[in-house]
Amino acid sequence: MFSENFIWGVASSAYQIEGRDQADGAGACVWDAYCEQGKSYDGADATITCDHMHRYKEDFALMRQLGVKHYRFSISWARLMPEGIGRVNEQAVAMYRDMITEMKKNGITPYITLFHWEYPQALQDQGGWLNEHSPEWFAEYAAVVAENFSDLCEYFFTLNEPQCFTGLGHLSGAHAPGYKLPLQYTFQIVHNVLKAHGMAVLALREHAKHPIKIGYAPTCGVALPATDDPRDVEAAKKVYFGFYSDLDNWTWNVSWFSDPVFLGHYPEEGLKKFAPYLPKITEADMELIAQPIDFMGQNVYNGYLVRAGADGEPEFVKRAPGYAKTACGWPVTPECLYWGPKFLYERYGMPLFITENGMSCHDMVSADGCVHDPNRIEFLDRYLGQVQRALDDGVDLRGYFEWTFLDNFEWEKGYNERFGMVYVDFQTQKRIVKDSAYWYQKVMETNGAILSCNRP
Ligand code: IFM
């Protein structure tokens, strides 16, 4: 069974739900420019999205009704510091303080993510993450967050999915700022991002009003052993922490983003493979990046199969014809929530949170006015069953945050994907609780006892 202290939560991000207000004093972020260029699906933007900035009181009341007690959300850097550094937007301070106070009134513990991709355009105009000062800029922002919110909040995450905002943002160009940069720039960017994480940890601790707890929330598909044969397990582990992605996709990598943070060095295999492209990396950089933190977060959605070939080397196994997929085409592979945490815990030995996991479905309002999403219930039941399996195997998994509370602005996919527990009609802003949210409510209430894996 799940331990009594297991954290059941939900996650969101600022840009995806808040919306804007003409008079809110927020600065532009890179996603505004991306949307203005018509790059997201159907020309969508996040000007209104869920209008959460005007509706958070109702939204937190709904969370309370649904028994949500832990909520991971992000502060928008560009909203809080319109130029990215320097001036602080007092309206944003007031809004986020009120939001957190409101959460707490509803019995909800806040977990703040510092950076979920709302990069200030003013800093992007100075080179963004490629600028050598970018770690200091992020540290300044982290200090402002700690100064203004640490009296209300104990838990912080620095970066959400650095693999995505570096790779999709600067290598493939699929995400804002939409660049396709030469490889050596992308390695410099990632190094700066990791230094920014380290500097933010220092700044958070220095400026916090109380002792706080800090984590980091990277991601990546999980290499799954095709069978339980120990050779397949070894092959999968080798791929999970190895360097099998093509160079033009290189940021889909676990160890390059997590070894420096938790082990204090880049992995040898990567240092060799990437040698021609690497920036100057000093011992002082590595010390900075490896600031002790309290837990590891990992966003986990799916995996791919690997087996040991005849020569013992890993081989990728093709998916079965007609394999199960979510609405956005992601494979349904519940075992990723067993093997991912297991491999991560073995390598890093850190207490672990699943900081995001969930499913986009073809949700619609039925004739009875409800949103029936049996596929999402099935998905979550199976995935959480694998969390249980990892716990039973001794993995120090402390919590799980479902992605996400409200249907929202899904970045380049606009409003084409619905990941929420709560359906949002984007024309009227009406919220309809989906069946899966009532189901998750029971999971939380019973501490996982109603999961199929825990029923006789
Ligand atoms: O919506 C995103 C989130 O912002 C980052 N992780 C994946 C989610 C689903 O695509």
Phi and psi at 306, nearest 5°, equal -135, 145
In the chain, % of residues over pLDDT 90: 99
Catalytic (active site) residue 268: no
Confidence band, pLDDT 50/70/90 cuts, at residue 166? very high
Average of per-residue pLDDT across 205-211: 98
Nearest ligand 1 atom to the CA of 13 is 4
Residue with tokens 């050598």: 132
**Got the DSSP string for 116-172?**
SS--BHHHHTTTGGGSTTHHHHHHHHHHHHHHHHTTT--EEEEEE-HHHHHHHHHTS
Per-residue model confidence as pLDDT tens digits over 18-58: 999 999 999 999 999 999 999 999 999 999 999 999 999 99
Tokens coding 417: 């994907």
Length of the chain: 456
Contact 441, 385 (CB under 8 A): no
Residue 43, Ramachandran bin (φ over 0: left; ψ between -120 and 50: alpha; else beta): left
Tokens coding 312: 């013992």
Confidence band, pLDDT 50/70/90 cuts, at residue 1? confident
pLDDT exceeds 90 at position 191: yes
Nearest CA to ligand 1 atom 2: 410
The response to whether residue 403 sits with its C-beta less than 6 Å from ligand 1 reads yes
- Measured in Å, residue 31 CA sits from the centre of ligand 1 at 14
Catalytic (active site) residue 161: yes
162-170 helix and 183-207 helix, angle to the nearest 10 degrees? 140
Q: How far is CA 260 from CA 97, 270, 289, 292, 341, in A?
A: 33, 12, 6, 11, 18
Per-residue model confidence as pLDDT tens digits over 118-154: 999 999 999 999 999 999 999 999 999 999 999 999 9
The response to whether residue 166 sits with its C-beta less than 6 Å from ligand 1 reads no
pLDDT exceeds 90 at position 312: no
Confidence band, pLDDT 50/70/90 cuts, at residue 242? very high
- Measured in Å, residue 195 CA sits from the centre of ligand 1 at 23
The response to whether residue 381 sits with its C-beta less than 6 Å from ligand 1 reads no
Confidence band, pLDDT 50/70/90 cuts, at residue 271? very high
The response to whether residue 299 sits with its C-beta less than 6 Å from ligand 1 reads yes
Q: How far is CA 375 from CA 150, 188, 331, 361, 405, in A?
A: 39, 41, 13, 7, 17
Tokens coding 194: 């990791």
Q: Provide CB contacts within 8 A for 419, sequence distance 6+.
A: 358, 359, 360, 403, 404, 407, 408, 410
Average of per-residue pLDDT across 207-226: 98
Confidence band, pLDDT 50/70/90 cuts, at residue 330? very high
